[in-house]
Amino acid sequence: MAAEPRRTESGLPIEPLYGPETLADWSPEAKLGRPGEYPYTRGVYPSMYTGRPWTMRQYAGFGTAAESNARYKQLIANGTMGLSVAFDLPTQMGYDSDAPISAGEVGKVGVAIDSVDDMSVLFGGIPLGEVSTSMTINAPGSLLLLLYQLVGEAQGVASNKLTGTIQNDVLKEYIARGTYIFPPKPSLRLIADVFQYCRAEIPKWNTISISGYHMAEAGANPAQEIAFTLANGIEYVRTAVAAGMDVDDFAPRLSFFFVSRTTLLEEVAKFRAARRIWARVMREEFNAKNPKSQMLRFHTQTAGVQLTAQQPEVNLVRVSVQALAAVFGGTQSLHTNSFDEAIALPTEKSARLALRTQQVLAYETDITATVDPFAGSYVVEQMTDEVEAAALELMHKVEEMGGSVAAIEQGYQKGEIERTAYRIQQEQDSGERTVVGVNRFQLDTEDPYEPLRVDPAIEAQQAERLARLRAERDSSAVDRSLTALRKAAEGSDNVLYPMKEALAARATVGEVCNALREIWGTYTPVDRF
């Protein structure tokens, strides 16, 4: 009896041999094209890495703004091309560090930012006109963007010189991650306001990074990851068009964010399939004329969920394979996780090793010498078609439910991801899916490891900073600006203009978010699993 074929993460069979006969319905002209040309299967730029490598970003942020600033300067000195900011949970949820709900979480999973004062410290001595900055922030993404703009202005940098990205993808928060604040409708309105504001005020800024990464970390397989991410992207485009914007006025600034797993072949196929689907959606559904509107540009992060606390040095191997998959898949920028992230925040040494991994790939191997090395590979082309078909089937289901928001409100994506996560965990527990050092090749004793720890005194320090800020600032100016913000939120004016005035008056992140909570309310999730 023939053995059952292995299956991909998406549940698709992996045949032991691929050849021309498996691609009977395959047309090189329709499926591939050339790099930098529609449908961008082979990459969004003609030369890809033969001219310059991908942007090497390292995601970092912990404790106070001063501590994170020191880490950023170390990363820049080590060769990082762009900064990527991690914020703590209170900041991500729109609460100040001294709010009761913030207790125990200040500075733990990222840097604590309460006001423009903290943002000024975070980027002190870093020329914002020369550095590209990505900020992983969603529900309060508009606030952090405006704080960044204010710091740039204080440095004398014109806003049209600022470059970077805010994640600003709240729909995936309802699906997988949970750092939402407002219900979907006002959240989409806020995102459309960001699109309009940046077109007028910060034209080089990427206004959204539509993220599949966090869905994958929650358990989504590759087909689910790109299907639900692209479906969210469609919802954002529809929202902006409904707000009166021309698609080619904002679509070139859209970007995406995906995971890269150790299953290298399927990951390469996933990235290629995602580009092809998005190009067709933008051309055929939205009639985008600008080629840049049809390009799916994306950042990749290696799969933190696949890292293990057992034998953590083995994670160096995992991250290297994951980084290879991202590069072979044509990523525009990459963050490589540190080997100790399954234990604690990365140390300075482990963060440097993660960056060195990218530098070895870029400068010591030959993978940057040619564009799309896997093009024409029987297995990768077949997998690309199969992942594309599986993703399109899921996207059609979302459409049948009324689009991403309607599906979210019915708990569809969340339920599908949770079922996949449960299946994968069962396979690991049974040993059907090997995890080196966890369910096979274990050690009797683990080597001691001293992790980086965040000083709990940071919470009190941030509270003291907030007390000083509130004592020093012009309270009447803050009150006036927050009143103007509430009025804009009640109507249809772009809320970013009064929001910027409030932040410039030294209103805190929590105060601004609370003003919007008063008008828009908060979101309560739906469970289907």
Q: 442 in a domain, yes or no?
A: no
412 vs 433: CA distance, rounded Å = 26
pLDDT over threshold 70, residue 238: yes
Domain boundary among the residues 414, 430, 446 is at 430
Same domain, 407 and 474: no
Q: 25 in a domain, yes or no?
A: yes
How would residue 31 be classed by pLDDT, with cut points 50, 70 and 90?
low
pLDDT digits (tens, 9 = 90+) for 453-505: 888 899 999 999 999 999 999 999 999 999 999 999 999 999 999 999 999 99
Q: Which residue has the tokens 């106070």?
A: 64
How would residue 163 be classed by pLDDT, with cut points 50, 70 and 90?
very high
pLDDT at residue number 326: 98
Map residue 175 onto helix, strand or coil: helix
Q: Which residues of 335-360 are buried (b: 16+ CB within 10 A; e: fewer)?
A: bbbbbbbbbbbbbeebbbbbbebbee
The whole-number average pLDDT for the span 44-53 is: 96
Q: 451 in a domain, yes or no?
A: no
**For a pLDDT cut of 70, what percent of the chain falls above it?**
97
Q: 526 in a domain, yes or no?
A: no
What is the identity of the amino acid at 217? E
Q: 504 in a domain, yes or no?
A: yes
Same domain, 119 and 246: yes
Same domain, 372 and 485: no
The whole-number average pLDDT for the span 147-173 is: 97
**304: closest CA among 394, 177, 167, 444?**
177
pLDDT digits (tens, 9 = 90+) for 167-224: 999 999 999 989 999 999 999 999 999 999 999 999 999 999 999 999 999 999 999 9
The whole-number average pLDDT for the span 75-95 is: 93
Same domain, 214 and 270: yes
What is the identity of the amino acid at 121? V
Same domain, 11 and 99: yes
**191: closest CA among 133, 139, 242, 149?**
139
pLDDT over threshold 70, residue 429: yes
Residue 491 gets which letter from DSSP? Answer: S
Structural domain range at position 309: 6-430
Same domain, 408 and 463: no
How would residue 30 be classed by pLDDT, with cut points 50, 70 and 90?
low
What's the number of domains the chain is made of?
2
Same domain, 489 and 376: no
Same domain, 385 and 301: yes
pLDDT over threshold 90, residue 366: yes
Q: 525 in a domain, yes or no?
A: no
Same domain, 381 and 510: no
**Cα separations in angstroms, 416 against 156, 222, 244, 278, 304:** 48, 13, 34, 22, 21
pLDDT over threshold 80, residue 3: no
pLDDT at residue number 464: 97
Q: 355 in a domain, yes or no?
A: yes
pLDDT at residue number 456: 87
DSSP string of 409-431, one letter each residue? HTTHHHHHHHHHHHHHHHHHHHT
Residue 190 exposure: Cα atoms within 13 Å on the Cβ side = 29
The whole-number average pLDDT for the span 56-62 is: 88
- Other CB atoms within a 10 A radius of the CB of residue 365 amount to 11
364 vs 508: CA distance, rounded Å = 47
Residue 305 gets which letter from DSSP? Answer: G
What is the identity of the amino acid at 145? L
Tokens representing residue 471 in the block:
């004592």
**For a pLDDT cut of 90, what percent of the chain falls above it?**
87
pLDDT over threshold 90, residue 4: no
Q: Is the Cα dihedral 178, 184, 190, 195 positive or negative?
A: positive
Residue 169 gets which letter from DSSP? Answer: -
Same domain, 160 and 253: yes
pLDDT at residue number 2: 57
pLDDT at residue number 343: 92
pLDDT over threshold 90, residue 325: yes
Domain boundary among the residues 430, 446, 468 is at 430
E strand spans, 87-216:
132-136, 163-166, 205-206, 208-211
Tokens representing residue 153 in the block:
């202005």
**Main-chain dihedrals φ then ψ at residue 56, nearest 5 degrees:** -95, 105
Same domain, 355 and 473: no
Same domain, 71 and 137: yes
Q: Which residues of 459-495 are buried (b: 16+ CB within 10 A; e: fewer)?
A: bebbbebbeebbeebeeeebeebbebbeebbeeeebb
pLDDT digits (tens, 9 = 90+) for 8-25: 999 999 988 888 776 666
Q: 449 in a domain, yes or no?
A: no
**Main-chain dihedrals φ then ψ at residue 301, nearest 5 degrees:** -125, 135
CB 179 within 8 A of CB 136: no
**Model pTM score:** 0.93
